[in-house]
């Protein structure tokens, strides 16, 4: 869409408020080059992308432990835990929820 088409949408009497708002914002962006308006428009229309809360120290510590594990230990941990998880999905008879084992030396 070019500027003339945007102006046509803006000036058309039957244009909805939503279309008018978007067209006006796009026309302003095209005129001024202020890209932050486009980000604002997308945030309002679609929503902001989800972000992780960096203040959750416990989750961050868990992630750090797994990231720093040697690959062989991580693979073995997965081999040990995946069957437990699959059993829990099938409705295992165990009343306790399966939990991930702590890596050796990291507990």
Question: In this structure, are residues 10 and 24 in contact, taking their beta carbons and an 8 Å threshold?
Answer: yes
Amino acid 54: pLDDT: 59
Which pLDDT value is given to residue 106? 53
The whole model's pTM is what? 0.39
Summarised one tens digit per residue, pLDDT across range 11-65 is: 999 988 888 888 888 888 888 888 777 777 777 777 776 666 656 777 777 777 7
Model confidence band, residue 104 (pLDDT cutoffs 50, 70, 90): low
pLDDT top residue among 56 and 98: 56
Tell me the C-alpha to C-alpha distance, in Å, between residue 10 and each of 3, 23, 43, 64. Answer: 10, 6, 22, 52
Per-residue model confidence (pLDDT) at position 102: 56
The distance in angstroms from the start CA to the end CA of the chain is 59
Q: What is the pLDDT of residue 31?
A: 82
- Mean pLDDT value of segment 91-102: 54
């Amino acid at each position: 869409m070019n500027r003339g088409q945007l102006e046509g949408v803006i000036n058309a009497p039957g244009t909805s408020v939503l279309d008018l708002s978007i067209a006006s914002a796009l026309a302003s962006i095209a005129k001024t080059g202020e890209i932050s308006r486009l980000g604002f428009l997308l945030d309002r229309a679609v929503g902001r992308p989800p972000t992780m809360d960096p203040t959750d120290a416990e989750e961050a510590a868990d992630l750090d432990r797994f990231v720093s594990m040697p690959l062989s230990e991580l693979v073995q941990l997965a081999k040990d835990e995946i069957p437990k998880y699959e059993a829990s999905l099938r409705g295992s008879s165990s009343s306790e929820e399966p939990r991930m084992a702590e890596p050796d030396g990291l507990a």
